[in-house]
Each structure stands twice: as structure tokens, then as C-alpha cells.
Amino acid sequence: MRSVLEPTRRAKASSGARQLANRDLTQVLRVLDADPVATCMVAARLQEFGLDTRGAYGELWSRGGPGESLCFSGANLVPLRGTREDMRAFAERAIRGPRICSSVVGRRELALPLWELLAEQWGPARELRDDQPLLALEHPAAITPDQKVRRVRPEELERYLVAAVAMFTEEIGIDPRAGDGGRGYRRRVQTLIESGRAWARFEDGEVVFKAEVGALSRRTGQIQGVWVHPDYRGKGFGTSGTAAVANVVVASGRTASLYVNCYNEVARRAYASVGFRQVATFATVLLD
């Protein structure tokens, strides 16, 4: 992947970012396939919905073609490839319209320069997480998975939602039910359950471990929302539970992936014991 610090060889005149369309999809997916773990979030969306400009799932921008630069604009702003001048073009396009994203996230060497260009208009950030190891696992877990971790059933939505809200509030710092009373978040969780991508261990009807495969591309499954009930922490539920979910992803022929805050030493040790290795570094800018 080209560094954002590499001088561009393209002319700077008339070099604004343009929106890509379905005619570009084959080339875009080929480019994303060269970096399947880091681009999983966007690849999964494009493989499902394509690049129909009439859709409500976001836009993909480029300056000079998909092989040169890419940035996804939707619920998250995700720079995928490009130089510093490309990031400038993406920032200029993002600033021209209303902000629709709640975060800037992606490879650290792309996300942080893009945020620097956006900060004057969009800042200050609610939180800057500038060092998030991106981890990958291509083989079965190195430890015994929790055999009681299973897919959540549709009729268990309400019980699972209690844990999902607790996880989101603890991790992001805001209640996901704010604004619309939780309708949007509930739909998102319900969709994950119905698609078989929400996993949990229940004890006496209560969720004690949970995780989801938040993005599932043809090559990668990105695990998110790993959470253990406070009463069960320190007992290995997070480690063995994550191993169980990762094994399902790997058994499907995909790489299991997740990213974690660098300061979360407990989680990093747990993921290392499962067998995850670092393949890149992400950064996330949380916005109000």
C-alpha cells in the first residue's frame, strides 16, 4: 500500500475526489482484495450492495482511479488508499456537504492525516484513539474455545440487547439509544442476530459473554463488540469466547480479524493467547 507521505506523480490540477459507480466495482474489489483485513468493513458492504449511487449505504470516492486512491463515506469515513494530496481531496469533498459520519477510522497512516485536514471544520474530536492494533487469525484458535458460546436466536433479542447496550455504552462512551430511543440500534442488533452473526454465552438466561461478526467479506470476518458481564470478568470467558467465534470465521474459509485499543492490555493478552497476530495499526476518531 502506498504511504500517504509518498509524493504523488499525478498532476494536481483538476484533481478533486469523484464518486465512483457500479462500473468501477470490479476494479475497486480487486484493489480491496489486496488488503483484505484492513478493508473488510468496506469490502463487505460493496460485495453486498455494490456501488449503486442511488443507495443509502454510503459513497466511495477516488482521485485518479481506484488503484491510486479510495475513501468510503458513510456512517464512518474510511480512507483506504492514497497519498497526502489524496487525503486533502477527500477532506475537501467531505467538508463541502453535511457531515454524516460518526467517526473517521482506518489504517493509522491514512486516518490520522485525513483527520488533521478535517479537524478545523469538524473538531474537536470527542475521543482520539490513535493506536489500535489490527489483528488477524488464519488458523483455528490456539486455545480451547468455549463450547457454550453459540449463535443468538431471534427470540433472544431482548436479553441480548441488554448486553449490547451495556457494551456500546462502556466502549464508546454514549448510550446507543440516545436520539431515536434506540430504534436504529435495535434494528442493527436484530439484523446481526437474524443473519447468524451474533454470538453469546447465556447463564440463567443472562448474557455473560457476547461478540458479533460485524463485517463479513468474502475473505475476512471482523469480530466486534466483545464483552463480558462485569460479574464474570477475570475468569477467561472473553478469551475462550473469542476463540469460539474466531473458529467459526476460520472454518468458513475466512481470516478472523479484530482491532483493539493499545492500552487495553488485558484484551491484547487474551487475543494473543487465542493466536491473533498484528497485521497493521488502525486509528479511530470519534465525533460528537
State the pLDDT at residue 6.
Answer: 43
Instruction: Indicate if 155 and 108 belong to the same structural domain.
Output: no
Whether the pLDDT of residue 167 is over 80: the answer is yes
Could you tell me the pTM of the whole model? Answer: 0.91
Look at residue 245 and tell me if it is in a domain: yes
Instruction: Indicate if 119 and 154 belong to the same structural domain.
Output: no
Instruction: Tell me which residue of 75, 81, 71, 84 sits closest to 19, measured CA to CA.
Output: 71
Instruction: Indicate if 157 and 113 belong to the same structural domain.
Output: no
How many structural domains is the chain composed of?
Answer: 2
State the pLDDT at residue 203.
Answer: 96
What is the tens place of the pLDDT at every residue in 82-127?
A: 999 999 999 999 999 899 999 999 999 999 999 999 999 999 999 9
CATH code of 182's domain: 3.40.630.30
State the pLDDT at residue 13.
Answer: 35
What is the tens place of the pLDDT at every residue in 1-59?
A: 444 444 444 444 347 999 999 999 999 999 999 999 999 999 999 999 998 766 567 99
Instruction: Indicate if 269 and 221 belong to the same structural domain.
Output: yes
Instruction: Indicate if 114 and 168 belong to the same structural domain.
Output: no
The rounded distance, in Å, linking the Cα atoms of 89 and 93 is 6
State the pLDDT at residue 54.
Answer: 62
The answer to whether 4 and 83 are in contact (CB under 8 A) is yes
What range defines the domain where residue 180 resides? 150-280
Q: Give percent above pLDDT 90 in the chain.
A: 87
Look at residue 264 and tell me if it is in a domain: yes
Look at residue 47 and tell me if it is in a domain: yes
Whether the pLDDT of residue 163 is over 90: the answer is yes
186-195 average pLDDT score: 96
State the pLDDT at residue 55.
Answer: 57
